[in-house]
Structure 1
Amino acid sequence: MAETGPPNRQPAIRVTTMPADANPYGDIFGGWLMSQMDMAAGLVASRHSRGRAVTIAVEGMKFHAPVAVGDEVSVFADMVKVGRTSMTIDVQAWRRGRHTEAQCMVTQAQFVFVAIDEERKPRVVSAA
């Protein structure tokens, strides 16, 4: 995969990894990284649908490179498809070492959300 660098805009989420997020070898847990990606996608889904939205699927999750304690992780999320009640969001996570400017994509996936109402039933996605 040819990397050109992260998107030229602000990420949905940016966080510094901590020791509690890692295994005994200092590698960040994949589940922790996936939760950051889910939060970023959730922000996009809720904003677009103007209300509550929940994750119903994660498709094509790929881990390209490890993330270490102290790395800065930036998560970018882009709406790629809107259905009647669902939204598909492309998500990429990029890492930057603590003392460098070099960045690399570490994870990518598509997250599918459904807009829900107060009774947790699917609702029509509002036009944004």
Structure 2
Amino acid sequence: MTLDPKEPVLRVVPGPTDINANGHIFGGWVLSQMDIAAGIVASRRANGSVATVAIDTMEFLAPIHLRDVISVYAQVERVGRTSMGIRIEVVASRDRGREEVKVTSGLFTFVAIDADAKPRPVDAPE
């Protein structure tokens, strides 16, 4: 199965418990959604288990509000022998879909792992 980069890997609505003291969504909550989406894409590319090993870059561009629907887009940017970089973009849909705002982006690095949680080649079966 191939993911269409124009289609989100995840769509999520944050809840009231995800709000910080400023009335915006916690950065850690957003980061976890990004990691979930990146993990889905990395696992499909590696045809097996993967582990997050680094967040190479991440930039918060705009806050996420309580009533936003966020769409998380992910695609493979680079593939090495055991690792791969997954580019993530998060877009918030506001005002009942009338406005879309890119709120964050990042590059996550994953390593393909075997049954013993040891690195394995990306293109080798698990």
TM over 0.5: yes
Q: Which residue of 1 aligns with 2:12?
A: 15
Q: Deviations over 1:5-62 (max 9, x none)?
A: xx97210000111111111332100000010000000000000001000000001210
Is 1:78 matched up with 2:75?
Answer: yes
Counterpart residue identity of residue 67, structure 2: G
Structure 1's unaligned 5+ residue stretches are 1-6
- Using the size of structure 2 for normalisation, the TM-score is 0.90
1:31 aligns with 2:21: no
CA distance in 2, matches of 1:110, 1:77: 9
Does the 8 Å contact 1:72/1:98 carry over to 2?
no
Task: Letter of the 2:94 partner, please give it.
Answer: G
Identify the residue that residue 84 of structure 2 maps to in structure 1. Answer: 87
TM-score by length of 1: 0.89
Q: Distance between the aligned counterparts of 1:103 and 1:69, measured in 2?
A: 14
For 1:73 and 1:81, the matched residues in 2 are separated by 25
**Structure 2 regions of 5+ residues with no counterpart?**
none
User: Amino acid of the residue matched to residue 89 of structure 1?
Assistant: I
* In structure 2, C-alpha distance between the alignment counterparts of 1:54 and 1:8, rounded to whole Å: 22
The runs of 4+ residues in structure 1 deviating greater than 4 Å are none
Cα contact 1:116–1:123 (8 A) shared by 2? yes
1:107 and 2:107 aligned: no
1:41 paired with 2:38, answer: yes
Which whole-Å CA distance do the structure 2 matches of 1:80 and 1:70 have between them?
31
- Residue 63 of structure 1 aligns with an amino acid whose one-letter code is F
**Percent of pairs identical after alignment?**
45
State the distance in 2 between where 1:18 and 1:39 align. 17
Q: Which of these residues, 101, 122, 125, is aligned with residue 122 of structure 2? A: 125
Checking the alignment, whether the CA contact within 8 Å between 2:18 and 2:25 is kept in structure 1 is yes
Tell me, in whole angstroms, the C-alpha distance in 2 between the residues paired with 1:16 and 1:120.
32
